[in-house]
Homo-oligomer: A and B are copies of this chain.
Amino acid sequence: MDSHTGLPVVGMVGGGQLARMTHQAAIPLGQSLRVLAQSPDDGAALVATDVVIGEHTSYDDLLAFAAGCDVLTFDHEQVPNELIRALAAEGYAVRPGADALVHAQDKAVMREALDRAGIPGPAWSEVSTVDDVASFGDEQGWPVVLKVARGGYDGRGVWFLPDAAAAADILQPDHAYIVEQRVPILRELAALVARSPFGQVSVWPIVETVQHDGICVEVIAPAPDLSEELAGQGAMLAVRLADALGVVGVMAVELFETADGLLVNELAMRPHNSGHWTIEGARTSQFEQHLRAVLDYPLGTTTMTAPWVVMANVLGGPDGGMGIDERVHHSMAQWPDVKLHLYGKSPRPGRKLGHVTTLGSDLTEVRARASAAAAYLREGGDP
């Protein structure tokens, strides 16, 4: 409890853009997010008051950080599960807890839980040898998707294998892997859900996510031309999953839309890139909702604020060209209604430096505006 404000203190482990935007959402709630960052240059460390520098893999650092917090939560899934378990055993309120978070940390555990809950996903199997991959591929058909079970992120740790031989160069004896059937997909969708310890659950409309090279570049809310039936199924699936896994906070369920319906691709148990559009596009943003959930406050309304909302990521472009300040200047002149979000990062090709959000009633125009502004803001790219 903060003695000055009379409000509980939320600590977020990880100081990236998700913590940065969570701090932004914390301010109106009377909060000041406590952040465990790796460096004073981390996006959240640049904007928050209560920053502790430390390693999320060090139990000593986590314990020292936790001491100032009423609730602990995360901006990524990289804290070892056994350390989360140990913090909870010390009496700290950790949300989501280790038993829930493991499903976003270990793809084999996640696939098993989905199977138990009867929630559809691609065929899958744990594998550790080329022979394991070969027998799965021969049964399910080639190509297959090989994934590192723990630690993958943004397309890293994922390989498309045309045959079993291709696995030979990838498989390492000290890593766990799963292999999945490569399903023919129509497009990628995401269902965003929040759940509080009290058990209240809320969902936002299902969105379409557009990826390039495994990185999300655009999110369209709501997913265009999604049948009411699939939209309802996606929402119900997210709610059932949040309940079944005991999630607290925001969970993003990445989905494949296929000719046979929806399949779960991945889970993230934190605010997620597919939900950045909610900052301006929904009455309650995913960042505010995550805070409400981990504080066990009642959840906010998730109604959209416009018929169409589009988010486009601003990625780092090739070096050179005008500086970011000049690009911001010109983009604001060109698009006075585009909402800009910069994460305080030094530019590097392909790095997510920020995002833009557009809103309106004409989807084609709203999409075009978002991608034009995002393309313009690419550091060093051509205007």
- Chain A residues with CB under 8 Å of chain B are 1, 4-8, 20-21, 23-24, 26-30, 32, 41, 45-49, 51, 279, 283-284, 292, 297-301, 303, 305-306, 323-325, 328-329, 332-333, 336-337, 339-347, 354
Contact = CB atoms under 8 A, between A and B. Distances in A.
Contacts of A301: 336-337
A345 B26 CA distance: 15
A292 B47 CA distance: 18
Given A4-B346, A32-B344, A328 B27 contact: no
Contact of A46 (B32, B340, B344): B32
Given A30-B328, A292-B332, 17 more contacts: A1-B325, A4-B344, A5-B346, A8-B325, A21-B28, A23-B27, A30-B324, A30-B344, A46-B49, A47-B48, A49-B49, A284-B336, A297-B332, A298-B336, A299-B332, A300-B336, A300-B337
Contacts of A32: 46-47, 344
A28 B341 contact: yes
Given A29-B328, A336-B298, A344-B32, A305 B303 contact: no
Contact of A332 (B24, B47, B300): B300
A6 to B, nearest CB: 5
A47 B4 CA distance: 13
B339 A28 contact: yes
Nearest to A334: B298
A20 B27 CA distance: 8
Contact of A47 (B23, B41, B329): B23
Nearest to A300: B336
A21 B27 contact: yes
A166 B127 CA distance: 91
A319 to B, nearest CB: 13
Contact of A28 (B46, B342, B345, B346): B342
Given A5-B324, A46-B32, A328-B29, A299 B336 contact: yes
29 contacts: A1-B325, A5-B344, A6-B323, A6-B325, A6-B347, A7-B328, A7-B342, A20-B27, A23-B27, A23-B47, A24-B24, A24-B27, A24-B28, A26-B47, A28-B279, A28-B339, A28-B342, A29-B328, A30-B342, A30-B354, A297-B329, A297-B332, A299-B332, A300-B332, A300-B337, A301-B336, A301-B337, A303-B337, A305-B305
